[in-house]
Structure 1
């Protein structure tokens, strides 16, 4: 996909759509339901989000980077 062809607003909208699908999947899983979008399990979602992030950063747009850890926290420092 040619991300450079999209407007700033389009990039932001697509990125927020990824975030929304991820949040929806997390909510489904929290209710012991199967995730509908399979965002965490499908590599293409992460690749799409990464490409959007790269283009937005290249343009100097602010980006609230998606947390892919799913609330797993961080590893303790040794």
Structure 2
């Protein structure tokens, strides 16, 4: 994806979407249900969020990094 062509707001929305999908999966797993988005199990999710983070950091945007540790 050509991240540098996106607006700051678009990058943030995509990043928050990934964060939300991860939170939903974690909650489903906590409840003993199957993940809906499979964020932790799909390497493309981590690449996508890493690419978003790199672009956002390059622009000097402030955001909370996604915590990938399952030990949270």
Same fold judged by TM-score > 0.5? yes
Could you list the runs of 5+ residues in structure 2 that have no partner in the other structure?
A: none
Q: Which has the larger radius of gyration?
A: 1
Partner residue in 1 for 2:3 = 3
- Once the two structures are superposed, the pairs formed by residues 1-78 of structure 1 within 5 Å of their partners are 1-70=1-70, 72=71
Structure with greater helix percent: 2
TM-score using structure 2 length: 0.97
TM-score using structure 1 length: 0.90
Q: Deviations over 1:15-61 (max 9, x none)?
A: 00000000000010011000000000000000000000000000000
**What RMSD over aligned residues (CA atoms) do the two structures have, in Å?**
0.8
Structure 1 stretches of at least 4 aligned residues deviating more than 2 Å after TM superposition: none
Could you list the runs of 5+ residues in structure 1 that have no partner in the other structure?
A: 74-78
